[in-house]
Chains A and B, each alone.
Chain A
Amino acid sequence: MTTHYDVLIIGAGPAGLSAAIEMKSLAPHLNIGIIDEYLLAGGRLLGQLYEESKGQWWNGFRKSEELRQQIQQLNIDLFLEVSVYDLIIKDESVTFFTERGRMTSKYALIATGASEVPTPIEGWTLPGVMSVGAAQVMTNVHRVKPGKQGVIIGVNMLSSAIAMELALAEVNVKAMALPLYSIENEQHAIPKVIFKQVMAAAHMAPSLLAKLGSKILFTDHLKDFAIQFYPKKGIKMWGIPIYMRSAIKRIEGEGKVERVIMVDITTDGKEIPSTERAIPADFVCLSGGLTPLAELVSLAGVPFYAIEALGGHVPLHNEQMETPIPQIFVAGNVTGIEGAKVAMAQGRVAAQSILLRFNQSSKKQLQQRIAQVHEERRHAAIQFHPLLEQGREELYEKWKLEQSQ
């Protein structure tokens, strides 16, 4: 078995798989390998499930399987259950150190996606507490319920999407609430801030938080609805009460989750004394949203910039998905948090950029693929941050600046 490739792709998610398919379809002689540490191909796409329009479902599990079949038909080497722990760039090639030995390639696409931001809270090491993405994977990928009754801590795009998916699978979610304020959880714990995000989301996620946003507006007939009017008992979405005037203070139980303790809070997130009450639960999901998983890109020596609208520290790259390191390309959520369809379109852009290095594409084709990223972004079912486009522009400006120096 060869360990030398023309192109190695790290991450078998929507970006990585799409890039591989694009490259191999247009240049069948290229030797392409994909590495992923999970046991299935698809990455975060595997767990996604939402109704795009009446009766039309975006079924990430099925989509992942379709992509995997294409990979197989195109004879692309797919290495699952292989973790990469280091890389070096030497003599114009990239060497990846994996659990099963070394693999080298002329070019590498790093499409490692995103990881979840935790919201540490007292009791979060108890068995039964998991990230919200963990519950999504258990439910939608492996078809095991995370528990009999649970609570989601953290109100954001990701947790709302997954709450809906859990409801669909008839997982009993008894409440969705903010974590009680702490410095570490600051961004996720202040009702007036979260409330603004939810209202902004009304324009960004027609199928998700928007419903909550419009429900609030509809319920109160108030143009300038404010957080102080948010009902104490929460507003129900998909049968789950969403609280913004109460927060979870801690998780309790003997050796496992048995209950969460909820308190009332001010609009600034301050605890109102003597309001503690217990909600019985055998599982808890924590969610602070997603952030790019950039370990490998960082080891490659690509500089990073902190851009909040993109989800945190992102590697420097341009619209062609090139990085300042000539052998390294990036695509998908490692470049900023967006939906799977954008990630797939970005993967195809990276593919075209790499194909150009092998003289197997044209600038025109590359431009067409870039235009498709914009198209997907405009039509995205979920936009994770209202200033996403500005965030992207900000990074491209940094690129221009760096190139001019």
Chain B
Amino acid sequence: MRIHHHPVLRPLQRKEINFTFNGQTYKGLEGEPIAAALLANNIRTLRVHEESGTPRGIYCNIGHCYECRVTVNGIQGKRACLTPLTHHMDINSGEILSTAVRDWRKQHDHSL
């Protein structure tokens, strides 16, 4: 997936480093956004929707949509598209959270 030869753009000079995503180790380039490093490893699902569990990946890639938010070194809500990769970075997807009120509504409000 990486572009090594481009007819116009000069190649980027970046150091290869290791990072983990959901416990598995991958290689990425230092300083590139987490989202680029994951895509280069053919990983598209960055998190699941907190309620429905539907998979989500990058959408806007410039920090507006927050679809790519992941937990980075224990800090939640980091945008993978804006956060530069560092050596040994530990990245995790979020989980499905319980939404008791919504679940109750689903059973009682039939217009939903």
Are A and B in direct contact (Cβ within 8 Å)?
Answer: yes
Q: Please list the residues of chain A having a beta carbon within 8 angstroms of any beta carbon in chain B.
A: 37-39, 49, 57, 59, 61-62, 81, 83, 115-116, 125-131, 133-135, 137-140, 142-148, 168-170, 255-256, 293
The reply to whether the CB of B11 lies closer than 8 angstroms to some CB of chain A is yes
Using known A-B contacts A39-B33, A39-B84, determine if residue A131 contacts B59 with beta carbons closer than 8 Å. Answer: yes
Q: Are B61's CB and A128's CB within 8 A? A: no
From the candidates B8, B57, B58, name the one contacting A49 in the complex (CB within 8 A): B8
Interface residues of B, count at CB 8 A: 37
* A62 and B31 alpha carbons, distance in the complex (Å): 18
From the candidates B4, B45, B49, B58, name the one contacting A134 in the complex (CB within 8 A): B58
The reply to whether the CB of B23 lies closer than 8 angstroms to some CB of chain A is no
Residues of B contacting A: mostly? loop
A131 to chain B: which residues have CB within 8 Å? Answer: 59-61
Q: Are A49's CB and B9's CB within 8 A? A: yes
B33 to chain A: which residues have CB within 8 Å? Answer: 39, 142
Using known A-B contacts A143-B11, A144-B40, determine if residue A127 contacts B6 with beta carbons closer than 8 Å. Answer: no
Residue of B nearest to A139 (CB): B3
Of A39, A81, A170, the most chain B CB neighbours within 10 A belong to: A39
What is the distance, in angstroms, from B3's C-beta to the closest C-beta of chain A?
4
| The 8 residue pairs across chains A and B that have the minimum distance between CB atoms | A127-B57, A134-B61, A127-B44, A142-B36, A143-B3, A127-B45, A144-B40, A145-B1
Residue of B nearest to A168 (CB): B7
Q: Are B63's CB and A38's CB within 8 A? A: yes
Using known A-B contacts A39-B84, A256-B55, determine if residue A59 contacts B61 with beta carbons closer than 8 Å. Answer: no
* A140 and B44 alpha carbons, distance in the complex (Å): 19
Q: Are B62's CB and A134's CB within 8 A? A: yes
Q: Are B60's CB and A145's CB within 8 A? A: no
A255 to chain B: which residues have CB within 8 Å? Answer: 45, 55
* A116 and B61 alpha carbons, distance in the complex (Å): 11
A139 to chain B: which residues have CB within 8 Å? Answer: 3
What is the distance, in angstroms, from B82's C-beta to the closest C-beta of chain A?
6
What is the distance, in angstroms, from A284's C-beta to the closest C-beta of chain B?
11
Within 8 A of A (CB), among B23-72: 31-33, 35-36, 39-40, 44-46, 49, 54-64
* A256 and B54 alpha carbons, distance in the complex (Å): 10
A134 to chain B: which residues have CB within 8 Å? Answer: 58-62, 81
Q: Are A127's CB and B56's CB within 8 A? A: yes
What is the distance, in angstroms, from B110's C-beta to the closest C-beta of chain A?
23
The reply to whether the CB of B108 lies closer than 8 angstroms to some CB of chain A is no
For the complex with contacts A39-B31, A143-B3, 10 further pairs of A-B residues with Cβ separation under 8 Å are A115-B64, A127-B55, A137-B62, A138-B35, A138-B36, A138-B61, A142-B12, A144-B2, A145-B2, A148-B1
* A148 and B39 alpha carbons, distance in the complex (Å): 11
* A37 and B61 alpha carbons, distance in the complex (Å): 12
